[in-house]
Structure 1
């Protein structure tokens, strides 16, 4: 029942309809002997260093990489599996809840990888769904727009949103289209009693919503927006290194932390290659590339440095509110709860007053 409802809602909704996936092909540097298919929400330019490093160790493997929204990944895996055909060999998504749902409903398979025994308990569900990154939701801000610094908390955001400088200059995810945006909102509602006052204040200020992190970061970097709220910190941090006007801030009241979750689909044509790529991402080299080059904080305890889950937890403590990979995520996919949360969001934005 859930599968049919999910596919109906996803494929019939133009917000999720995958007009054309962004497909990149990485030819085997040593002559093709096998092909690995990946569905992922990670932007292809960020994925390229990982794929290149993987191919150094596996020069006979061509990688076909499809950059999709999280809901598109789930819908593709479900429909391709149910039709009896093959699907991706590996899926890597920021839609934590959707990935766990796939595993829970039998669309993923258990895998044996050397790193699993030492992987944190919160980051491994039944050896099927693995958290591979540790990514805070951050505030991105346009430095020239805030000579005295940006808001430091959600309460300060409410106050700033009431000023003329805020009009038309706040951006965040379209929570009806973005899986990670919806997850951030749901967690905010659990941790912040005045979340709807914040949403209403942003609505009065003419909040702009977008389906992707990149669209928001682009607009903050060039000043079209002054603030971007609850943006994946990995993308923001990577861009801030090359954009002098782009600032990144972890709000001081609390910061929700999500992870990209990897799994090997049950209907993978080459589950052996999917498992091999997963092991690479969980290994020291893959985790180090993600931490140092992609600014995706490492989960592995073997990786040292500031851009790791262990270092962030030591420095920030209770300020961080991580989301574990567990069946608890399935509550966010309850269609009635989801509809109510999105309706409340839309009502707050439309009315400019907390429901």
Structure 2
């Protein structure tokens, strides 16, 4: 069994059972990741697993919850998750930096690109473009935006049509929204002008891509900015009224990050799962059966980082897992940025709604 699991780790490690399975705490929709989980079960039928589809805030809470008596519930007791997956990259980095991840080794780790891992403890295994989306009937009134400049121009010239009909992530109550806003400010010299333009048309703030997509589908919104492309592409396949646009001037790329929890009850099985994510087989599933986009060079399929780079060119700006992300969770820096964002947004009603949806405090949603 230990050989099948890829070698043993020092310290206690239980063998997963149906009653005590491998637990994956993940901010990743089950309908998107299902092909990957099915492939893992086929490769390792001896490892029962439970996939916990959570918000990024819940994932982050699960990482530390057991230390205070919370965490993942199992057989009436609290426990740490075995594997942690989230798109809230700064918070993943912070937990790893706090010593809550295990260092991995092996051929999959050695082959993994250096730019997509940190200290061999946390691994970025997807390559997801950040996109715009709009309702198909938007084109009856205006030319849909293809660049950030186009979006800015529409907000300035089509306010009569767009007021209350635009949506984006809230950087006040969403960690993903805050991360994307920070990166936009880094790459776009006109980002703060765009923030002001969004505020003037009473842009509605959400904490999930799914909420934005549902608003577009229902007609409450006409235009969405900074959605996660993986979710948007799947949604648009079944909702033809929603059109997804990868910005042509530049597109941020968010990468989901995975690590084995330091206190994982099933260490060997957890390491096996993460190695599977990074393996040729796992990455082929991502490339061919999901819109999560594989990272590993040499993997072929419709959804690969290499193919996306070919289509979009050098205008892809991936958010990389390195120590600079740790500054994003610094309270002073966060407060300064969000204060500036509030001042430029100028949309009091939208801000009030953002506070109502969240708690007014930043969480890694």
Q: TM-score range by the shorter chain?
A: 0.7 to 0.9
TM-score, length-normalised on structure 1?
Answer: 0.85
The runs of 5 or more residues in structure 1 that have no matched partner are 1-27
Q: Is the 8 A contact 1:287 1:300 kept in 2?
A: yes
Q: What secondary structure, in the 3-state scheme, does the structure 2 residue paired with 1:146 have?
A: helix
* Count of equivalent residues: 323
User: What residue number does 2:22 align with?
Assistant: 36
User: What residue number does 1:47 align with?
Assistant: 33
1:139 aligns to 2:129 (yes or no): no
1:97 aligns to 2:90 (yes or no): yes
Q: Shift in Å at residue 50 of structure 1?
A: 2.1
1:145-224 to structure 2, matched below 5 A, reads 145-147=138-140, 149-162=143-156, 163=158, 164-224=160-220
Q: Is the 8 A contact 2:116 2:321 kept in 1?
A: yes
Higher relative contact order (CA 8 A, sep 6+): 2
Q: Is the 8 A contact 2:286 2:303 kept in 1?
A: no
Q: Shift in Å at residue 289 of structure 1?
A: 2.3
Report the Cα distance in structure 2 between the residues aligned to 1:334 and 1:186, rounded to whole angstroms. Answer: 13
RMSD: 2.0
Q: What secondary structure, in the 3-state scheme, does the structure 2 residue paired with 1:241 have?
A: helix
1:111-130 to structure 2, matched below 5 A, reads 111-130=104-123
Q: Shift in Å at residue 300 of structure 1?
A: 1.1
User: What residue number does 1:230 align with?
Assistant: 226
1:257 aligns to 2:253 (yes or no): yes
1:323 aligns to 2:319 (yes or no): yes
How big is each residue's C-alpha offset from its partner over 1:36-82, in whole Å with a ceiling of 9 and x where there is no partner?
00110001222332222211222233222222222332232123246
Q: What secondary structure, in the 3-state scheme, does the structure 2 residue paired with 1:182 have?
A: helix
Report the Cα distance in structure 1 between the residues aligned to 2:28 and 2:21, rounded to whole angstroms. Answer: 19
User: What residue number does 1:78 align with?
Assistant: 64
Q: What secondary structure, in the 3-state scheme, does the structure 2 residue paired with 1:345 have?
A: helix
Quickly say closer, same or farther: Cα 1:48–1:314, change in 2 above 3 A. Answer: closer
Q: Is the 8 A contact 1:70 1:98 kept in 2?
A: no
Report the Cα distance in structure 2 between the residues aligned to 1:274 and 1:169, rounded to whole angstroms. Answer: 44
Report the Cα distance in structure 2 between the residues aligned to 1:123 and 1:81, rounded to whole angstroms. Answer: 29
4+ runs of 1 displaced by more than 3 Å? 31-34, 81-86
Q: Shift in Å at residue 153 of structure 1?
A: 1.9
Q: Is the 8 A contact 1:87 1:269 kept in 2?
A: yes
Report the Cα distance in structure 2 between the residues aligned to 1:154 and 1:306, rounded to whole angstroms. Answer: 25
Q: Shift in Å at residue 121 of structure 1?
A: 1.0
Report the Cα distance in structure 1 between the residues aligned to 2:324 and 2:226, rounded to whole angstroms. Answer: 21
User: What residue number does 2:338 align with?
Assistant: 342
Q: What secondary structure, in the 3-state scheme, does the structure 1 residue paired with 2:346 have?
A: helix
Report the Cα distance in structure 2 between the residues aligned to 1:245 and 1:79, rounded to whole angstroms. Answer: 41
How big is each residue's C-alpha offset from its partner over 1:188-237, in whole Å with a ceiling of 9 and x where there is no partner?
01111221211111111111111111010111133221111011111111
The runs of 5 or more residues in structure 2 that have no matched partner are 1-15, 71-77, 349-365
Report the Cα distance in structure 2 between the residues aligned to 1:75 and 1:91, rounded to whole angstroms. Answer: 11
Q: What secondary structure, in the 3-state scheme, does the structure 1 residue paired with 2:294 have?
A: coil
Question: Which of 239, 242, 259 is equivalent to 2:238?
Answer: 242
Report the Cα distance in structure 2 between the residues aligned to 1:151 and 1:333, rounded to whole angstroms. Answer: 32
User: What residue number does 1:14 align with?
Assistant: none
Quickly say closer, same or farther: Cα 1:57–1:306, change in 2 above 3 A. Answer: closer
